[in-house]
Structure 1
């Protein structure tokens, strides 16, 4: 199991994984239109503060995750995704453990933050098991298909 850099050759993989409008919103928030496409990924990945990865498990691409540099010592964990065939196996936790270590060692992070939709209890529980704590709750800032999706902001000091 290892994180490796996300490259243009991986775009089709991620586009296949994000296969519905709701999943696109859950994964990317309001930043990406559905269907996801190479042009959107090109623009996003070209930003110097975006550091994106594919998680490889037993030779197969199992997930995607990003770090987003907020400052010299603070990074944000973004767009965490595990493909359907690898869900429910603890892969997300292992991917995030590696990401946390990488953020600390290679990027000198002292604080990691993230945002998760409150309704995504599986993800929230995973983040809490890794030491992230809810720092604030936002209501009314995000909605999908006419339904409000509350957002939890979480943080972990390294």
Structure 2
């Protein structure tokens, strides 16, 4: 597995993983819509503050995608997705571990954080298995479309 910067082709492959408004809105946030033009999709994902990465398998196929940025002194993970063809193989854990390795190489932080929708049990359990702990979000109200989310943090290991 290789973590790499996405190309335009990767972004457009990623766009095809979503087949309705609820799926893309839940994953990508309030600026996402379905259907959505390629240009608008690219614009949303390539905003300057996002660090975007693709996980490619040995055949160079796009198997997962994720972003991180600084939020409340943490490496905040967002827009994590695994290609539907490859789900159930532990790729989300691989993606998260590699994203955090990259994040700690480029910036300092108190730990990592993420939002997960409370009804996304598979993702919630995945994050728990990596050591993320649900905690109160330090700012109110929750941002954007995140009201039905849990805020999880992974403290740094000293």
Q: TM exceeds 0.5?
A: yes
Runs of 4+ in 1 over 6 A off after TM superposition: none
| Structure whose residues are more often strand by fraction | 1
Unaligned runs of 5+ residues in structure 1 are 144-148
Q: Report which stretch shifted further, 116-125 or 8-17.
A: 8-17
Residue 96 of structure 2 aligns to a residue whose secondary structure is: helix
Alignment RMSD: 2.3
1:80 is aligned to 80
Of residues 138, 148, 151, the one that matches 2:149 is 151
Query: Is the 2:15–2:41 Cα contact (8 Å) retained in structure 1?
Result: no
| Residue 122 of structure 1: aligned partner | 122
* Aligned-residue offset at 1:22: 2.1
TM-score, normalised with respect to structure 1:
0.84
TM-score scaled by length of structure 2: 0.84
1:65 counterpart residue number? 66
1:136 corresponding residue in structure 2:
136
Kindly state the Cα deviation for residue 142 of structure 1 after the two structures are TM-superposed. 4.2
Q: How many residues align?
A: 151
- The corresponding residue for 2:25 is 25
